[in-house]
Amino acid sequence: MKPAFTIRQQSPIYVGPAADLLPGLLPEGRVVVVCDATIDRLYGPLFQSHDRMLIGSGESIKTLQTVETLYRRFIEAGVDRRTFILAVGGGIVTDVAGFAASTYMRGLSFGFVPTTLLGQVDAAVGGKNGVNVDGYKNMAGTFTQPRFVICDPALLRSLPDREFRAGLAEVVKTAVIEDAGLFARLESTSFGALRTDTDLLSDAISASIRVKAGIVERDERETGERRKLNLGHTLAHAIEKCSARMNHGEAVAVGTAMIADVAVKLGLLSPADRDRIVAPAARPRVRADPSRRRPASFERGRQGQEKRGRPAPHRPARRHRRLHRAADTGRRVRGAGSAIKRSGTYRCGRSTEISSERLSNLPLLFSFSARTLPMPGAYHVLVCAAAPTTDHLTWTVSVRHTVSYVPAGTVVVSCATTRRSAIRIDT
């Protein structure tokens, strides 16, 4: 079977049954399969003749610690440069296994069999492999193309509806970027039809890969055009950091809808086109204000206090209480600078409040890149969700970290790393 696409003449991508394709694509010699327990249980027979190494699941395991564990297991198992690594699973598994393979012994050959819709249309395609560092998204990684990628729509039958919807958010994003035909088909196709009709699903997967493969072919290392593939992701990464209730695809859906709304305010997009984008982007059916949802652990503690007849108010740390009140009232607070400095964020100049009327005069306010490190003349803020009030624009910010970049000479944003805080605009 010929590949449907090939990236940079070295990474063929197949859309078809993995069971038929794998035997002809796996090299002779030793193959080590990296997957999670769920994939091992569901699809173990696909690779039962090969060694298996299981890792966890979820964003929390996408770390250097997991990669280090894999390194040690590779050493214990005698993995060498002749060993082929096959990653089978969702985007987390392919990211971790791809990074481990591309760095172990200066690089091993590897291939991907993504088993989620999000993995097939985005995470496993394009050669980006990386992990998070201290909560910062994808800060350690490589650009290394897999030897092959097999996208089998039949593997998606076992996906829960929520995970399938999360993948659709990436399909919508791709259609918005560069495929009006795919977007029109998504508008006219129901979720149920995509879920059950293999031909419709294969068409959507192939169309999404075609767009991404073309962009990666022209800009593999994201020096220009490939940045378009980050549509909705800056705000999505902020949402993921502030709320454990959303997965990546759901956060991308919300981020895409938010940035479309901003584009309307800036006169870059018509309201009609915004509504067209928001409708399919909202299919994951999630709230756009994840910051207002308490973590499950907080809710359990609160319920326990209520059962014991004790009040359970939300009481932030003392040095942040005034900042919490500022977020609720929109007032400025003296002494915020020291809290900001202690918590590791940055500020300069004089602070003023931003009114909702001034939004149209700040065209770069939302032009953030979530992967830039601190540098002279640049300041960082993690923005989660906008909620315009009567007099001021109130945002939700991270509890611990700042990750986004605002170019020097435009708008410098500073805020304390509290659960809620009024933003200050330095002018």
Measure Cα distances from 68 to 31, 63, 396 in Å. Answer: 20, 9, 34
Are the C-beta atoms of residues 79 and 32 closer than 8 Å to each other?
yes
Active site residues: 106, 128, 170, 212, 222, 226, 230, 233, 237, 248
CB 405 within 8 A of CB 369: yes
d(CA 224, CA 337): 36
Residue 59 contacts residue 240 (beta carbons within 8 Å): yes
Of 278, 145, 151, 257, nearest to 204 by C-alpha is 151
